[in-house]
Structure 1
């Protein structure tokens, strides 16, 4: 028998013949004609190389070969039925599983603490993992199931990736408390352009790039800045600023969150920088997966509160 060419619908007919012992009754149960069932039995005999049933009066009696596969066939059909049945209603209180979020360490500060509190209260058996966001590999991480969602700046995506806008992130300038040059500036004031350009900067860049959105905004007004250091994580940017006379442009939500922790002062930048739109992306294959769908909703609701 060549299983690759076997019509699996024939196995339903075989199971019905086991149950009913009659082509007429099997046909009625399957909503088929008797001739169609007889034709299916003929194909099964040919495919399996056995008579399968012998007529004994008005009843079909299974051959020894057929009797030997009856119980196993029924178990496999029941297993397939269970596998393909609609999934049970998702209950976060009892559900177990792991949900992976690919994102920068920005979200370690702004997402993971409230998500931890939410999961402890609403879904105590679910596990959330924040995994490294590879800047050139957002989409592949979803395709290879290394992440369930990724939180990224808006960009073009393949058609099999879904997206949801979450929040706009403006930029603030941060400097350490007691910085000799910024000491005379009031909290929240716009940093003068000459000060901004004269001071040395820390730049967040996982790839080690020496320019970013702030540099493009400066270029539009004919200015430039001095990047003294690049760091691949936002926590490192904030730490470097807090312990030196370097300054940095960071997302406004992050600056507000960590200013007290790192003893930072926060200022408006001297040039217009379009806020970055942060989106959540996921593979369309998990659109209707109960746990993934529930977790996406929780994460996205927490993130939209940052707008």
Structure 2
């Protein structure tokens, strides 16, 4: 592979490019900080390798051969591309950066993070852009490993396995409460199991987190509706006899907006942790680390608590 490149001194390509653009050995030598004799020697080596005169003198100008005219655009494009991609990355400056972060979210994680985050970034990173996407599965390992998304906001329960290539940043801890229509006055375990339930499954999973926990307790609830979206769910509950498990982070907001009543779960269930997932070898490592720090700080300010505060 690359049998030609192995025999060619690639330092000769900028020489060719400079002579072609300037039509002058002297001006090309000045640009490349070489003596005219050194540049002429380099040009001779390239002529010998390519078996073509490449340039001939016409008065004070170096005119390209037909072959040189054919080569020139390819060499110029290759040098420009290499220069762009091999140039050391500049330190991340949030005030000046206008890059785009692609982040995998659910309705819930976007609701928790982005209203406050965008307000915080107005002053510190006004030109940053975001593309939020919903993925059909959790966690977003494939997309993160392939570089298709920069970060993923998701959640895990105690004991979940960690992927060796993933970094997990704890964002906050949360737990479920129950949303009901306004007519309900109390909620016992018996009433909970007897009622119909709306379950939000953002990745179209077969079971919600609480269903797995109820199975371990030898219990089962009656699921009437499964939906990937949390947005419409409290409004459906408000107009029906259905119950809905909802994280406390959004419960008060939804209670005000949709007119639902909030009850504690009538059984004990483990808390879950909302996390930021990132790839350890991400090409946006510095920028991603900065953004994760801002996210954690902002959620702490909005919620008034983090994992360390709760523990």
Could you tell me the TM-score, scaled by structure 1's length?
0.71
Q: Which runs of 5+ in 1 are unaligned?
A: 27-36, 54-61, 186-190
Alignment of 1:222 with 2:218, yes or no, is yes
Shift of 1:102: 0.9
Contact 2:138–2:154 (8 Å) recurs in 1: no
Alignment deviations for residues 104-145 of structure 1 (CA, whole Å, 9 cap, x no partner) = 100232112112212323222222232113225712333454
Aligned residue pairs, count: 277
Alignment deviations for residues 64-88 of structure 1 (CA, whole Å, 9 cap, x no partner) = 77xx69x987996577455423323
- Alpha-carbon distance between aligned partners in 2 of 1:173 and 1:226, rounded to the nearest angstrom: 14
Shift of 1:165: 2.2
- Alpha-carbon distance between aligned partners in 1 of 2:214 and 2:257, rounded to the nearest angstrom: 29
Aligned to 1:174: 179
Contact 1:175–1:241 (8 Å) recurs in 2: yes
Aligned to 1:86: 88
Call closer, same or farther: CA 1:9–1:264 in 2, change over 3 Å. Answer: farther
Shift of 1:167: 2.0
Shift of 1:283: 2.7
Choose from 238, 251, 275 the match for 1:255.
Answer: 251
User: Tell me, what secondary structure is at the counterpart of 1:6?
Assistant: helix
User: Tell me, what secondary structure is at the counterpart of 1:172?
Assistant: strand
Choose from 108, 111, 123 the match for 2:125.
Answer: 123
Contact 2:97–2:127 (8 Å) recurs in 1: yes
User: Tell me, what secondary structure is at the counterpart of 2:270?
Assistant: coil
- Alpha-carbon distance between aligned partners in 1 of 2:80 and 2:207, rounded to the nearest angstrom: 60
Call closer, same or farther: CA 1:151–1:7 in 2, change over 3 Å. Answer: same
Contact 1:203–1:210 (8 Å) recurs in 2: no
User: Tell me, what secondary structure is at the counterpart of 2:193?
Assistant: helix
Contact 1:175–1:247 (8 Å) recurs in 2: yes
Choose from 150, 158, 180 the match for 1:148.
Answer: 150
Contact 2:101–2:129 (8 Å) recurs in 1: yes
- Alpha-carbon distance between aligned partners in 1 of 2:84 and 2:100, rounded to the nearest angstrom: 23
- Alpha-carbon distance between aligned partners in 2 of 1:261 and 1:153, rounded to the nearest angstrom: 25
Alignment of 1:236 with 2:232, yes or no, is yes
Aligned to 1:58: none
Shift of 1:169: 2.0
Alignment of 1:20 with 2:35, yes or no, is yes
Contact 1:217–1:273 (8 Å) recurs in 2: yes
What is the correspondence of 1:186-205 to structure 2 with a 5 Å cutoff? 191-205=187-201
Shift of 1:161: 3.1
- What's the Cα RMSD here? 4.0
Alignment of 1:279 with 2:275, yes or no, is yes
Contact 2:8–2:49 (8 Å) recurs in 1: no
Shift of 1:204: 1.0
Shift of 1:301: 3.2
Contact 1:204–1:233 (8 Å) recurs in 2: yes
Shift of 1:198: 1.8
Aligned to 1:59: none
Contact 1:280–1:300 (8 Å) recurs in 2: no
- Alpha-carbon distance between aligned partners in 2 of 1:74 and 1:239, rounded to the nearest angstrom: 61
Call closer, same or farther: CA 1:136–1:261 in 2, change over 3 Å. Answer: same
- Alpha-carbon distance between aligned partners in 1 of 2:14 and 2:243, rounded to the nearest angstrom: 75
Shift of 1:48: 2.8
- Alpha-carbon distance between aligned partners in 1 of 2:35 and 2:79, rounded to the nearest angstrom: 16
Moved over 6 A (4+): 62-65, 71-76
Shift of 1:222: 3.3
Aligned to 1:11: 10
Aligned to 2:290: 294
Q: Which runs of 5+ in 2 are unaligned?
A: 17-28, 56-61, 307-311
